[in-house]
Structure 1
Amino acid sequence: MIRTRIRDFIVTDEDWIFAVADYTHPSGVRSILRYVPDADGERVRDGMRYRKLDFDDSYRFMRRERPEWLEDVHIVPFDKVRDVLNPVERVTELTERDPRVAEIVEVLKSGGISLDKMGITGSHLPGLNNESSDIDFIVYGRSWFRAREIIAMAKKAGGVIHELSDEMWHRIYSKRAPAIPFEEFLSHEIRKGNRGMVRETYFDLLYTRDWDEITPIERGIDLGRREIEAVVTNADYAFDSPAIYEVEDDEIKYVLSYTHTYAGQALPGERIEARGMLEELNGIRRLVVGTSREPKDEWIRSLTLLEEEKR
């Protein structure tokens, strides 16, 4: 059995590179194909050219090349995995090579976050980043919440870490293409505090569970589209993937988001509006938002936050 968790990457015998998409892997590594060798590719790793696949392209590729690996995500057989790329090991390497990563690491270390709680994912993990690549910075477990506070203080201090420009917010909005207006998106995002700039490079502060926090999150049976209003009663894993909101509702116990756009979207005690796919698992009903990477006509909005913004 391969020990891996979300935000790790794996490399197969064919040199295909997948992003791990789950914490548990009962029948193979649950993942999404991100890079494939291509003689005309613009990115290079170990002398080999690669092409980056977006979400839809990766599914088309898998339907053509490995349809037997295709379920709700891509299931890579354990015996086809050649390497597991570890974000914790990679952040140590990049600290010595990339001054931007070193600056984030130093700020977090000065605030008490140990290096073994940090990681790098995204294109930097397999070394396929280019000049325009963002930095996907991980902090593991409960240390993430302290890291967010440290980043907020660093922004106020006016050093190399600072807030996003309006132009960058518009860029992120266009990339994520959420089903809510820009002003609503911005109100939610600014409150989250999980994005920043290090010099001129955008970075995300991503949450991943510690090993001892991991429990299986299985998919249920789809029952159809649903829109609800409910009060959030617990948001301990609101920044996880999936983001988990326990809610007070006569029928639905949880709202889950599989898209990063709606992670950290609401706080306990807030009333939300959510639209997605209703599913049932072991007699428990959940509303799932993010049935595609850029979900159309699915969302989570904190009605409480938006009402406060109007005052």
Structure 2
Amino acid sequence: MTKPVRLRDFIEDKDGWIYAVSTYDNADKIGCVLRYVPDADGERLHASGTRYKKYDFEDAYAFIAKHKPQYADLLQRIPYGDVKRVWKPDEELPQIARRHPRVQKLVDLFGLPNGTVGCTGSLLCGLENEASDIDMVVYGQHWFTAQALVRQGILDGKVEGLSEDMWKKVYEKRKPEIPYDQFVLHEKRKWNRGQIEGTYFDILFTRSYDELNRVHLGKGTVIGKQTIEAKVTDASLSFDNPAIYEVEHESVNRVLSFTHTYSGQALAGETIEACGVLEQHGNERWLVVGTTREARGEYIISKTLLGQ
């Protein structure tokens, strides 16, 4: 039986365009974002000799709207009949590690069972360059084991933490709505990123196959912008995409973050302040953070962490 397409897989369409799968909701069409297109002047070179141009988020949407409007949606939606190839991070990991010694070192650090860890991003489709980061993927509850190993690895000196300059680069890239010192305070306890021999890496959470249907997230009815203070009751999917926080609040049941900045932002039992767009989902109300790419005016902070 063919394994379902899931978040952080990559796919190639019949024209050789390469996309990053960006959702678990892939029943009818695959939800993804365009990343690479064959281009004789492209800056990325595949081992096959084909050159590719890399597309950032906004450019990808514009390019799809112009050239393949039939795929345009909140995410690009590719019919299964148009898919030529699927890359799965866990299945491709052995060959990625063979050509990339730093990936092998991370695999050795984690020591996780086969099929529970993978590598996504440019390395997955063979389009990395010297400056490419390493995007490791860890599936299901094994992610928390990897998180603990990154923490211990940094403390033991097996991998490096981020330098002050690197934190500033991450902050500038993310452009969050919270001050730099608060951003770093939240980030440093996530233990989901580091450097290995000078190369930046992160560990990304993806649900295991048996958890794919654990939560269904449809589009709700927008009520309006709201800021709430609430107690987190369950943060077990707080590193997922979207990050999910079950909360105790008089009217809001759940806080979601569609921006990676606010994943893992709070632990169960902590009090958060969150600003986002309130949506009605059946009998529940969810506060959604990251309703735009840069989440302008939207945020999550742990008031407990900040001592507020």
**TM-score with structure 2 length normalisation?**
0.95
Counterpart in 2 of 1:20? Answer: 21
* 2:250 aligned partner: 250
Task: State the Cα deviation string for residues 67-106 of structure 1 (Å, max 9, x = none).
Answer: 2322211111110010001101221112211110011011
Q: Distance in 1 between matches of 2:25 and 2:274?
A: 26
Cα distance in 2, alignment partners of residues 126 and 280 from structure 1: 39
Contact 2:96–2:124 under 8 Å retained in 1: no
Looking at structure 2, the residues matched to 258 and 299 of structure 1 have their Cα atoms a distance apart, in angstroms, of: 11
Give the distance between the partners of 1:204 and 1:219, measured in 2 at CA.
29
Deviates more, 1:22-31 or 1:6-15: 22-31
Aligned partners of 2:230 and 2:272 also within 8 Å: yes
C-alpha separation in 1, matches of 2:125 and 2:66 = 24
Alignment of 1:12-51 (within 5 A): 12-45=13-46, 46-51=48-53
Measured after TM superposition, the shift of residue 217 of structure 1 is 2.2
For 2:307, the equivalent position in structure 1 comes to: 307
The 5-angstrom pairing of residues 42-121 of structure 1 reads 42-45=43-46, 46-109=48-111, 113-121=112-120
Q: After TM superposition, give the deviation of residue 223 of structure 1 in Å.
A: 2.4
Structure 1: which amino acid aligns with 2:138?
V
What corresponds to 1:267 in structure 2? 267
Structure 1 residue 294: deviation in Å?
A: 2.1
Pairs within 5 Å for 1:82-161: 82-109=84-111, 113-159=112-158, 161=159
Secondary structure in 1 matching 2:307? helix
Q: Of 194, 201, 204, which residue of structure 2 is paired with 1:203? A: 201
2:171 counterpart residue number: 173
Identity of aligned residues (%): 45
Give the match for residue 5 of structure 1. 6
Amino acid at match of 1:273: E
CA contact (8 A) 1:2 1:78 kept: no
Distance in 2 (CA, whole Å) between partners of 1:37 and 1:278 is 40
More displaced, 46-55 or 5-14? 46-55
Q: CA RMSD in A?
A: 1.4
Aligned 8 A contact 2:255 2:289 in 1: yes
Match of 2:284 in 1: 284
Letter in 2 for 1:180: I
Gaps of 5+ in 1: none
Where 2:176 maps in the other structure, the secondary structure is coil
Q: What are structure 2's unaligned runs of at least 5 residues? A: none
**Larger deviation, residues 231-240 vs 66-75:** 66-75
Distance apart, 1:152 and its partner CA: 1.3
SS at match of 1:307: coil
Cα deviation per residue 1:128-176 (whole Å; 9 max; x = unaligned)?
11111110001111111111111211112223x1211111111111111
Aligned to 1:192: 190
Cα displacement string for residues 201-251 of structure 1 (whole angstroms, at most 9, x for unaligned residues): 010011111000111322222222222111111111000111000111122
Mapped partners of 1:2, 1:22: distance in 2: 15
Q: Distance in 1 between matches of 2:104 and 2:249?
A: 45
Equivalent pairs counted in the alignment come to 304
Distance 2:280 2:102 in 1: 44
Give how far 1:2 is off: 7.3
For 2:179 and 2:58, locate their aligned partners in 1 and report how far apart those are by CA, in whole Å. Answer: 24
